[in-house]
Amino acid sequence: MVEKKTRDHLVAKSDEEWRKTLSPEQYRVLREHGTERAGTSPLNAEKRKGVFLCAGCGMPLFDSNTKYESGSGWPSFYAPREEAVETTVDKSHLMTRTEVHCANCGGHLGHVFPDGPKPTGERYCMNGAALKFEQK
């Protein structure tokens, strides 16, 4: 996993604008780096063909064919779409993890771990509150 530096984002809103457009849970996850409780997102069981979008800005992030059941309690994917996400080092909670952000708006999506399936070996463990699903 190569860390990508966060850059200026195409979608930039004030805190007040984000609060108006997101639910309280989406705001907590996307803007305050929160984590939803495991097993609470309906997207964890989503099996239809489609694309998972950023709930903050609508950027297409993950194709449904990269989603798999990781047993973690969060929607998991083995690869994002090209140029869709960025990563940073997260040293909170007395551990070092790789945090995943939307490349378009900078919203916190979740974390990526090196214990996923082939072909990438990565597990993008995403908060369902940070995503929307669009069926194809």
Q: Known catalytic residues?
A: 125
Helix/strand/coil percent split, the chain, to 5: 20, 30, 50
- Give CA angle at 134 (129, 136), nearest 5°: 155
Whether 79 and 123 have beta carbons less than 8 Å apart is answered as: no
